[in-house]
Amino acid sequence: MRFLITGGAGFIGSAVCRRLAGDPANFVVNLDKLTYAGNLASLRSVDNLPNYAFVQADICDGETVSAAMRNYDIDIVMHLAAESHVDRSIDGPGAFIQTNIVGTFQMLNAARGYFESLTGEKRDRFRFHHISTDEVFGDLPFDSGIFTEETPYQPSSPYSASKASSDHLVRAWHETYGLPVVLSNCSNNYGPFHFPEKLIPLVILNALDERELPVYGKGENVRDWLYVDDHAAALQLVATKGVAGESYNIGGNAERRNIDVVSGICAILDKKRPRANGASYADLIRMVTDRPGHDRRYAIDASKIRRDLGWTPSQTFETGLEATIDWYLNNEWWWGPIRKEQGYERLGSLKASGPAK
């Protein structure tokens, strides 16, 4: 199979590229703009392989995207490129509208033109896989409810609203133009190569730096966590075996309150890398002003992908979190340069954000 992966230099996209390019039967083209979130260092283990190619391009550039599909004779498009951080979408929603909505429209138009040029088996094989999030379903109460594929969309943040819009466009291109699409909506991912603005890597690296560990609101918000390599395995199944026109929810049955995630990281670090002063890293936890529009709880019912495509995650939250912490302890070559450039100001508090961008 010949794959075009958009956003392959990001957190999840790089896990997908590493997985697919690890099999010489596949050919993998990674198309990525290399925004702040894109990092070719995450692809060091595959970038010399003969079955891997990189194209630096913006998904909003329809011509370049079309040429990549044609020139590389693509069978399956896996569309992951996006602006992905909720807090940044609060500070500056414009980039989310541009990349996540306009960019997906350009991807769909390019895919439609390319699909219409295909014949025979090549045409039967073609899929456009749109990678999305459970955040499109919105806010669940603390004590009940779970997202299924039939849950109505009710996004709360500029990020989730832009992803919901892109999901609707993808379905419309299936219904209207017959483009063979598949969609997947996944819960919060964590694992190696995760950009340290998201909760888990931020807390690990702030702790190692003896910085404060910011927990929004009361820390009671619940996220349903999935190890990134388990997501990559699920995505391969959806892209290659999913039924055209269908969507699949992906999640690891691992609901945790934020405060428990942060305390859990502190407890593991206390054992693996005790602080010089002998205190617990938990002393660095600070409750800070809540995120505006903060969804209380996400929870995924993944029974459809388990039943129909035979997917099962390999990590529990406990084994995955320990593996993630070990990875950050051993891979400063990857995160060191990012932390130097990144700065430490709080993102996504309305106070910090200026006029609309």
By the criterion CB under 6 A, which residues form the site for ligand NAD?
6-7, 9-13, 32-35, 37-38, 58-60, 80-84, 99, 103, 131-133, 163, 186, 188-189, 195
**Other Cβ atoms closer than 10 A to 253:** 16
- How far apart are alpha carbons 156 and 73 in whole angstroms? 39
Binders of ligand TYD in range 164-193 (CB under 6 A) = 188
Residue with tokens 């909720």: 86
Q: From the list ligand TYD, ligand NAD, none, pick the one residue 164 interacts with, judged by a Cβ distance below 5 to 8 Å according to partner type.
A: none
Residue 335 burial (CB < 10 Å; 0-12/13-18/19+)?
buried
Quick one: tokens of 298? 């996400």
The residue (of 21 and 284) whose beta carbon lies closer to ligand NAD is 21
Active site annotation includes 153:
no
Is there binding between residue 199 and ligand TYD (CB under 6 A)?
yes
Among the residue ranges 139-147, 174-182, 209-217, 272-280, the one whose residues contact ligand TYD (CB under 6 A): 209-217
Q: From the list ligand NAD, ligand TYD, none, pick the one residue 106 interacts with, judged by a Cβ distance below 5 to 8 Å according to partner type.
A: none
Is there binding between residue 211 and ligand TYD (CB under 6 A)?
no
Does residue 334 sit in helix, strand or coil? Answer: helix
- How far apart are alpha carbons 357 and 353 in whole angstroms? 10
Q: Is the CB of residue 135 less than 8 Å from the CB of residue 162?
A: no
Quick one: tokens of 74? 């693509």
Q: From the list ligand TYD, ligand NAD, none, pick the one residue 214 interacts with, judged by a Cβ distance below 5 to 8 Å according to partner type.
A: ligand TYD
- How far apart are alpha carbons 295 and 248 in whole angstroms? 22
* Least CB distance to ligand NAD at residue 283 (A): 28
* Least CB distance to ligand TYD at residue 224 (A): 10
Residue with tokens 């340069």: 337
Active site annotation includes 135:
yes
Active site annotation includes 159:
yes
Task: Give the one residue of 112, 122, 168, 198 binding ligand TYD; rule: CB under 6 A.
Answer: 198
The residue (of 61 and 212) whose beta carbon lies closer to ligand TYD is 212
- How far apart are alpha carbons 180 and 256 in whole angstroms? 36
Is there binding between residue 221 and ligand TYD (CB under 6 A)?
yes
Q: DSSP strand E in 103-207: where? A: 127-133, 181-186, 188-190
The set of catalytic residues is: 134-135, 159
